[in-house]
Structure formats: structure tokens, C-alpha cells
């Protein structure tokens, strides 16, 4: 597949902003090119626009060359850039598979790009036939979220492969929750499919939602386009340094993930004992989708007790469901205690 044929013509023609620092290759000690304040406080210089140091570490962590990595201000930046790179407003469309993450729709709405919705099957897997039937030359991006938010399940690897192979546009696999899954994910498919983009993030398993750091892995042509369109200094230095620190201590992340996986099992077990719990869906993520009697009533009760969960009960295929993030052991205990009170109060 030729990626260039999918790109908006104005983006192909675009001459990106070029900073003097990125044009200069070599060694210099005196920088009088960028109108920065010269007095050193550790933050007075513009950061590396291509974040080479951080990419080198991520490259070793993921075993993917730096030329196949894009870093953004959260995965949300990559989602937004992909829509703007490939979709001509009011002409092209994206395909999403509800129920899913809300940002794909928001990014398309902002860009004035149409959205085609192909619901997941009743077991929360992509409906391959319906997707391929709906796809045409104007279908520029297919967004797959695996493990999926809010259903929690990962998509079957052979379905990801099938779609990457047969979809006529870009296939984005959003793996925000992949660290909580035993699934190998889509990274191993990258060398085979030039139209594939895999998104991961520091916002969930790494515990760094506040630094806003998302990763996109793809073939070099797509990475080149993302770099061309992004804001020149899209990642601030403090975030880059914080991420480097975290990557150099991978045991800490592993330990947090371990605890969350144990808590996921413990919480699912405990929840299943409540009379108002109808169904707990299997989760490859750090949350549980739980079908209950009277979800609105339970949601309000929890809110009154200072516990905020996500009410997904009006979302397609999630009727009656609340989405509950896995907290610390203490937080989960507080939740279970509140649910005991809810039960003994004779609710609903």
C-alpha cells in the first residue's frame, strides 16, 4: 500500500516549520539563534523537537527503531494529527467501532470529518465483514481500540491482522491498556503492514497521565508525516525528563501493574457476590465493566459517598453498565464497603 496516496494533498505539499536548532548539525557552544534567554536555569533552551534521547530509550524498551517512533502530547495528539493528515474535511471519513473511546469522534468532529460507526459484535469483537463492506476509497482511518475502552477486552490477534491486511486505509490500534493484557498486541505486525499505527501511552500503566506523553509506532512514511505536521516543540522538557526517569526504573512500573492485576481479580471476585451485580465482563485492562440492576441509582449512591465511577449505562452494548477503574487496595476496600452499605440498605 502506498501511504502517499492516502494523504491530503496539502499535507504532502506542506513545508514544515524548521527551527535553526534542527537545521544545525555539529557541535557548538554558543547558541544565539532562537532568541532564548541565555541564563542557564536548566529550562531556558527549547527542547529537542524530535526527542532523540527519549526515543532512544523507548526504542530499547520496545525493541523498535527510533525511526518508527513518534512521541506526542498524549496519544490524543497522535489521534488528532492522524485525522488531520489523512482526512479531507467534509469528504473523507473515519470508521469507529462503538462502544469505544470518545476521542476518535471528537478529533473527527473538530476536523469536520464524517464518522462511520460499525458496532462491535455482541462479544465485543470487530465485525470484520461489516467493516470491510462499509469501507471505500474515502475510508481513510479505521480506529481499533484493543484492549477496548469501555468493554475492557482485547481483540483477537487474527482479527487485527485481517483488518490491517484488508482495510484500504490507515489502521490505528490504540493500545493504551496493553500493559494490563497478556495479549501480544499489534507491535509484532508493524514490519508487515505499512498502513498500521500502534498507539501506546504513559498515562495508564506507567502512572504518568499528568506528563501527557503518548507514543505512536508505525512505518517511516507515517512517522515522517506526523513529524511534519506536529507543533515544533510538542513535548516539553520536564515531561521528557520524567519519562526517562520512569523508563530507567522499569521494576517500579512492573510492580504497580502486578498489584493492579491482583486487585482486578480480587475486585471482580468480590463484586460477583453482590446480589445487584448481573455480569462482570472479562478485562484485559485496569478497569472492570460491570452490569448491575439500577445503574443510575448505584452511580448516584456511590457519588454521594465520594466515589466516582463511570456511568456507561446509556452506551450501546453497555446497557446497565458501570465502568470501574482498579484503585489502590485501600480504595477498592472503600468501594466494597460502600457497596455493602448499598446492599444492606435494601437497594435498589
Ligand X SMILES: *Cc1c(COP(=O)(O)O)cnc(C)c1O
Beta bridge partners of 171: 142, 196
Q: How far is CA 90 from the centre of its chain?
A: 25
Point out which residues bind ligand X (CB under 6 A): 74-76, 101, 145, 149, 174, 176, 201, 203-204, 209, 214
Nearest residue (CB) to ligand X, 47 versus 74: 74
Q: Is 171 exposed, middle or buried (0-12, 13-18, 19+ CB in 10 A)?
A: buried
Nearest residue (CB) to ligand X, 21 versus 201: 201
Nearest residue (CB) to ligand X, 45 versus 156: 156
CB of 36 to ligand X, least distance (A): 28
The torsion region of residue 26 among left (phi > 0), alpha (psi -120 to 50) and beta comes to left
CB of 273 to ligand X, least distance (A): 28
CB of 284 to ligand X, least distance (A): 12
CB of 180 to ligand X, least distance (A): 11
Q: Which grid cell is 172?
A: 490505528
Nearest residue (CB) to ligand X, 101 versus 276: 101
Collapsing DSSP to helix, strand or coil, 246 comes out as helix
For 133, what's the count of Cα atoms within 13 Å in the CB-facing half-sphere?
7
CB of 60 to ligand X, least distance (A): 21
Q: Which grid cell is 246?
A: 520512569
Whole-angstrom distance, CA of residue 288 vs CA of residue 268:
8
CB of 338 to ligand X, least distance (A): 25
- Phi/psi of residue 71, nearest 5 degrees: -115, 135
- Within a 10 A sphere around the Cβ of 222, how many other Cβ atoms? 24
Nearest residue (CB) to ligand X, 34 versus 210: 210
CB of 196 to ligand X, least distance (A): 16
Nearest residue (CB) to ligand X, 76 versus 92: 76
Non-local (6+) Cβ contacts of 204 within 8 A are: 176, 177, 179, 180, 286
Whole-angstrom distance, CA of residue 307 vs CA of residue 298:
11
Whole-angstrom distance, CA of residue 313 vs CA of residue 292:
9
Residue whose C-beta lies closest to ligand X:
74
CB of 74 to ligand X, least distance (A): 3
CB of 78 to ligand X, least distance (A): 8
Nearest residue (CB) to ligand X, 285 versus 335: 285
Q: Which grid cell is 103?
A: 476521542
Q: Is 345 exposed, middle or buried (0-12, 13-18, 19+ CB in 10 A)?
A: exposed
Beta bridge partners of 142: 95, 171
The sign of the torsion formed by the CA atoms of 120, 122, 127, 129 equals negative
Nearest residue (CB) to ligand X, 201 versus 283: 201
Nearest residue (CB) to ligand X, 325 versus 343: 325
Q: Which grid cell is 59?
A: 526504542
Amino acid at each position: 500500500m502506498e501511504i502517499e496516496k492516502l494523504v491530503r494533498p496539502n499535507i504532502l505539499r506542506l513545508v514544515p516549520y524548521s527551527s535553526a536548532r534542527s537545521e544545525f548539525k555539529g557541535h557548538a557552544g554558543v547558541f544565539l539563534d532562537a532568541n532564548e534567554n541565555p541564563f542557564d536555569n536548566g529550562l531556558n533552551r527549547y527542547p529537542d523537537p524530535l526527542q532523540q534521547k527519549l526515543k532512544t530509550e523507548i526504542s530499547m524498551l520496545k525493541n523498535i527503531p527510533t525511526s518508527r517512533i513518534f512521541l506526542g502530547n498524549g496519544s490524543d495528539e497522535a489521534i488528532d494529527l492522524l485525522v488531520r493528515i489523512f482526512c479531507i474535511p467534509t469528504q473523507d471519513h473515519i470508521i469507529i467501532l462503538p462502544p469505544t473511546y470518545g476521542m476518535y469522534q471528537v478529533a473527527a468532529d473538530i476536523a469536520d470529518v464524517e464518522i462511520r460507526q460499525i458496532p462491535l459484535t455482541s462479544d465485543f469483537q470487530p465485525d470484520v465483514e461489516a467493516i470491510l463492506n462499509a469501507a471505500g476509497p474515502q475510508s481513510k482511518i479505521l480506529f481499533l481500540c484493543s484492549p477496548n475502552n469501555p468493554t475492557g477486552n482485547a481483540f483477537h490477534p487474527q482479527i487485527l491482522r485481517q483488518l490491517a491486511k484488508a482495510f484500504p486505509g490507515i489502521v490505528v490500534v490504540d493500545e493504551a491498556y496493553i500493559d494490563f493484557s497478556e495479549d501480544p498486541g499489534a507491535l509484532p505486525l508493524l514490519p508487515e503492514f505499512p498502513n498500521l499505527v500502534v498507539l501506546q501511552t504513559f498515562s495508564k500503566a506507567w502512572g504518568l497521565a499528568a506528563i501527557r506523553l503518548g507514543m505512536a509506532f508505525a512505518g517511516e512514511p507515517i512517522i515522517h508525516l506526523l513529524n511534519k505536521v506536529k507543533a515544533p516543540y510538542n513535548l516539553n522538557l520536564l515531561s521528557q525528563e520524567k519519562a526517562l526517569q520512569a523508563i530507567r526504573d522499569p521494576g517500579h512500573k512492573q510492580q504497580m501493574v502486578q498489584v493492579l492485576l491482583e486487585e482486578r481479580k480480587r475486585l471482580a471476585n468480590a463484586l460477583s457476590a453482590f446480589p445487584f451485580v448481573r455480569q462482570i465482563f472479562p478485562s484485559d485492562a485496569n478497569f472492570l465493566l460491570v452490569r448491575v440492576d439500577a445503574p443510575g441509582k448505584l452511580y448516584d449512591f456511590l457519588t454521594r459517598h465520594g466515589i466516582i465511577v463511570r456511568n456507561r449505562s446509556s452506551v450501546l452494548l453497555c446497557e446497565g453498565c458501570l465502568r470501574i477503574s482498579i484503585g489502590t487496595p485501600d480504595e477498592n476496600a472503600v468501594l466494597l464497603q460502600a457497596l455493602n452499605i448499598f446492599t444492606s440498605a435494601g437497594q435498589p
